[in-house]
């Protein structure tokens, strides 16, 4: 469910006409809905209200500080994967005791920053990382709370680029190595073992892989405890899929996912940590663009819009399907067209949608791309010297620009001439 709906023939984000925002700030831009963010967060939490649960929003999905603060005000912690994300989380006032630090390649300065901030826990992904965190914690005269990301070796049955829980993926510690690494960690200075972690992938639309992975993790918790390790929290990662396309297999509702979770963790007496990203923000955002040209080629129509793959790379990177429609509501029985919706970038991979049957659009019309709140703005680039686009947040009848459109001077001004080319 989301709060982007047609009212009086015009797409609205909550109570604001999207065309009004376009008139005032230009295109393209992202637009997020506060009500949808809140609703998704609440629905997820409600599914776990009867267990000791902590939700650490996986902010790599959308790290804008206004989005982050909206969720944090609702009670969310953060799952961070870089020092930059940690800084954003701290800046918006998220309690360090609700911050989880995940990721395969933490640098020394990132580790130091997290130790100094006294975050809830590091999710450690290798023995070398463990050794480094131990050394840095000792240096700082502190203890680092750690859990290990265990790779349960299950097939998440999702796109290869976002599957992370198989042996062959770069993530986590092999299931068979888990007990040895906990034994080793228990003897290291500066290290406090506090839990266990997994994350098997993203956009998972099938409960079976979760079921298998949770089962393997829960039995490991028993063995680790028997060996004397303290496992006070169990982090089940994120990955719950969202609907992108009407008619596709619908991803499980949070309560169905919760049933599977509870079946495996109820007896553990541990705090259960979740790291949802996409599920909270994907359908809380759209991207709005304007049609530049409608080009009719041999047997094919191209709708060329002012947003491109640098602004939303998901279609070309993951072969992702995003609904694309005109902002003015199509009239029933009106003319339709079959077209590729593409951007201005000099790449054949620059498309937002292919072979789409949609209401006929003309030059100057506004269109919107649905489900663009997750892995959209955060993955944008300035390829073709295209400035980063604006992001807006709506709340009821108000909206705010939460990230300015980058200017060309800001973008080009980052380059520097070496002395030998000067003058």
Ligand X SMILES: *Cc1c(COP(=O)(O)O)cnc(C)c1O
Residue 81 Cβ vs ligand X, minimum distance, rounded to whole Å: 6
Alpha-carbon Rg for the chain, nearest whole angstrom, is 23
318 assigned to a ligand binding site: yes
Closest C-alpha to 114, from 8, 184, 132, 369: 132
Rounded-to-integer distance, Cα 240 and Cα 228, Å: 32
Q: Which of 2, 38, 82, 102: binder of ligand X (CB under 6 A)? A: 102
74 is in an annotated binding site: no
Residue from 28, 190, 239, 376 binding ligand X (CB under 6 A): 239
Using CB under 6 A, pick the residue from 34, 151, 202, 380 that binds ligand X: 202
**Shortest separation between residue 72's beta carbon and ligand X, angstroms:** 17
CA angle 264, 209, 255 (to 5 degrees): 55
Q: Rule CB under 6 A: say whether 40 interacts with ligand X.
A: no
189 annotated to a ligand binding site: no
**Catalytic one of 31, 45, 121, 346:** 346
CB of 79 to ligand X, least distance (A): 5
Q: Exposed/middle/buried for 25, CB within 10 Å: 0-12, 13-18, 19+? A: middle
| Contact between 60 and ligand X per CB under 6 A | yes
With vertex at residue 205, the alpha carbon angle to CA 285 and CA 274, rounded to the nearest 5 degrees, is: 70
What is the separation of C-alpha 66 from the centre of its chain, rounded to a whole number of angstroms?
Answer: 15
- Tell whether omega for the bond before 28 is within 30 degrees of 0, i.e. cis: yes
- Residue 375 in marked binding region: yes
- CA distances (Å), 156 to each of 168, 200, 262, 367, in order? 13, 6, 19, 34
Per CB under 6 A, 358 contacts ligand X = no
Find the shortest distance in angstroms from Cβ 42 to ligand X.
Answer: 17
278 touches ligand X (CB under 6 A): yes
The reply to whether 237 sits near ligand X by the rule CB under 6 A is: yes
β-partners of residue 273 are 54, 235
Interface positions, 146-185, toward ligand X (CB under 6 A): none
Neighbouring-strand partners of residue 16: 13
Which listed residue (55, 61, 272, 390) binds ligand X by CB under 6 A? Answer: 61
Q: How many alpha carbons lie under 13 Å from residue 213 in its C-beta half-sphere?
A: 34
Q: Tell me whether residue 346 is one of the annotated catalytic residues.
A: yes
> Smaller CB distance to ligand X: residue 12 or 60?
60
Nearer to ligand X, 281 or 287 (CB): 281
- Residue identified by tokens 């719950």 is 240
Our CB check for ligand X shows the closer of 224 and 280 to be 280
- Measured from the CB atom, the residue of 195 and 276 that comes closer to ligand X is 276
Tell me how far, at minimum, the Cβ of 276 lies from ligand X, in Å: 5
277 binds ligand X (CB under 6 A): yes
The SS3 assignment for 147 reads strand
Nearer CB in complex with ligand X: 178/308: 178
First to last CA, the chain: 59
d(CA 378, CA 310) in angstroms, rounded, equals 11
Residue 77 is a binding residue for ligand X (CB under 6 A): no
- Residue 233 binds to ligand X (criterion: CB under 6 A): no
CB of 281 to ligand X, least distance (A): 8
Q: How far apart are CA 256 and CA 47, in angstroms?
A: 9
Residue 6: beta bridge partners? 11
**Rounded CA gap, 273 and 108, in Å?**
25
Residue among 325 and 371 whose Cβ is closer to ligand X? 371
SS3 for 28?
Answer: coil
Asked if 199 interacts with ligand X (CB under 6 A), we say: yes
Annotated binding site for substrate: 278, 314, 318, 347, 375
Q: What are the catalytic residues?
A: 346
Annotated binding site for pyridoxal 5'-phosphate: 239, 275-278, 375
Per CB under 6 A, residues contacting ligand X are 58, 60-61, 79, 81, 102, 199, 202, 237-239, 275-279
């Amino acid at each position: 469910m989301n709060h982007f709906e047609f009212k009086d023939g015009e797409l609205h984000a909550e109570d604001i006409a999207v065309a009004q925002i376009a008139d005032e700030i230009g295109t393209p831009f992202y637009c997020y809905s506060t009500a949808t963010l809140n609703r998704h967060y609440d629905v997820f939490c409600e599914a776990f209200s009867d267990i000791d649960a902590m939700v650490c929003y996986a902010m790599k999905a959308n790290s804008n500080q206004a989005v982050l603060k909206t969720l944090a005000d609702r009670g969310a912690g953060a799952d961070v994967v870089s020092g930059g994300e940690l800084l954003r989380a701290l800046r918006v006032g998220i309690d360090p005791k609700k911050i989880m630090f995940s990721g395969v390649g933490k640098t020394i300065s990132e580790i130091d920053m997290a130790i100094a901030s006294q975050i809830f826990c590091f999710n450690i992904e290798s023995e070398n990382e463990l050794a480094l965190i131990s050394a840095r914690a000792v240096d700082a005269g502190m203890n680092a709370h750690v859990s290990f990301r265990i790779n349960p070796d299950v097939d998440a049955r999702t796109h290869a680029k976002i599957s992370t829980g198989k042996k062959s993926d770069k993530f986590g510690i092999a299931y068979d190595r888990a007990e040895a690494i906990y034994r080793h960690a228990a003897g290291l200075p500066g290290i406090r073992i506090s839990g266990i972690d997994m994350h098997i992938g993203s956009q998972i639309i099938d409960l079976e892989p979760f079921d298998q992975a949770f089962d393997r993790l829960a039995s490991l918790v028993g063995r680790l405890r028997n060996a004397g390790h303290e496992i006070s929290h169990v982090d089940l990662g994120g990955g719950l899929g969202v609907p992108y396309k009407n008619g596709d297999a619908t991803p499980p509702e949070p309560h169905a996912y919760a049933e599977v979770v509870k079946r495996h963790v109820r007896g553990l007496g541990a705090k259960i940590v979740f790291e949802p990203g996409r599920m909270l923000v994907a359908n809380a955002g759209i991207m709005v663009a304007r049609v530049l040209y409608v080009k009719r080629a041999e047997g094919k129509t191209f709708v060329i819009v002012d947003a491109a793959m640098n602004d939303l790379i998901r279609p070309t990177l993951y072969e992702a399907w995003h609904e694309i429609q005109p902002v003015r509501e199509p009239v029933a029985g009106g003319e339709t067209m079959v077209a590729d919706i593409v951007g201005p970038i000099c790449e054949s991979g620059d498309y937002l949608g292919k072979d789409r049957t949609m209401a006929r659009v003309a030059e100057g019309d506004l269109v919107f791309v649905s489900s663009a709140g997750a892995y959209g703005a955060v993955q944008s680039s300035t390829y073709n010297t295209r400035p980063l686009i604006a992001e807006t947040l709506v709340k009821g009848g108000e909206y705010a620009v939460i990230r300015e459109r980058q200017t060309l001077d800001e973008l080009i001004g980052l380059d520097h001439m070496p002395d030998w080319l000067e003058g």
